[in-house]
Amino acid sequence: MGEATVRKPVTKLTKPRLGFFDVTCLVIGAIVGADIYVASSFGAGLLGPAALVAWVAAGVMAAIIALSFAQAAMLVPRVGGSYEYVREAFGPAAGFAVGWSLWLAEWISLAAFPIAFSRYLNVLFPLGTLGITVAKVIFMSFVTASNYLGAMAAGRVNDVLTVAKMGPLAVFALLGVIKLVADPVLFWSRLAPFAPLGWSGFGPALVTIFWAYAGFELAVIPAEDIENPRRTIPVAIGLGIS
């Protein structure tokens, strides 16, 4: 009579995963940042009230690109985002070029955020030259530390910051609705003249405002850290961009 073979249960190690809420906050947090405030003032300075047209046009462009990313994430749910999509379609050389171009673009654009953070903070609390520099260092150190601790830590920090950033926008939107209901004639009269500066600045305004919509592409990079990426990423991008 042979001895029965006793098998030990296999323990599967699983790393923490980013859920739907985390990914949605990643999309919203990347879009709703310092760029949205910088772009709004820049667009208004170039076009006046006509900047609303640039916002709509940039939003349509961003939505089309976002849907393309969502579809690509369903087909290639791997870490790397744009790099993986291009490598899969056109080969390693093209993927390498796109990957490094994305990284360089992100590194360059990230410089705007500590600058904007310190300037807005300086309006509320006058810091002086040294204080502004210290604020920039603290901001960059905080962001670096949260990312160094891993995807889950960065995701949790981003969740909190996204909720905090949506607060001022919600207040602005509510005040706008109140003004519209209270005195619609005055509200609409402030849009006239609609294009006091002409339309020559439409192109530069459109480019800058489109930058405010950018960020949804970052949600596809940590695909392997996301629960059910084929479903989560497309829905999160769609909800975030809307």
Q: Check residue 42 and report its DSSP letter.
A: H
Q: Which residues contact 221 (CB under 8 A, 6 or more apart)?
A: 79, 80, 81
CA–CA dist 57, 72 (Å, integer): 23
217, 82 Cβ separation under 8 angstroms: yes
pLDDT in tens, 37-72: 778 888 888 888 899 999 999 989 988 888 888 888
What is the domain partition of the chain in residue ranges? 20-241
**What is the average per-residue pLDDT within 107-133?**
83
**What is the average per-residue pLDDT within 133-147?**
86
pLDDT of residue 106: 77
CA–CA dist 46, 205 (Å, integer): 7
Q: Which of 216, 54, 97, 34 is nearest to 85 (CA)?
A: 97
2 pLDDT above the threshold of 70: no
Higher pLDDT, 6 or 154: 154
pLDDT of residue 11: 41
7 pLDDT above the threshold of 50: no
**What is the average per-residue pLDDT within 153-179?**
81
CA–CA dist 108, 114 (Å, integer): 12
CA–CA dist 91, 115 (Å, integer): 38
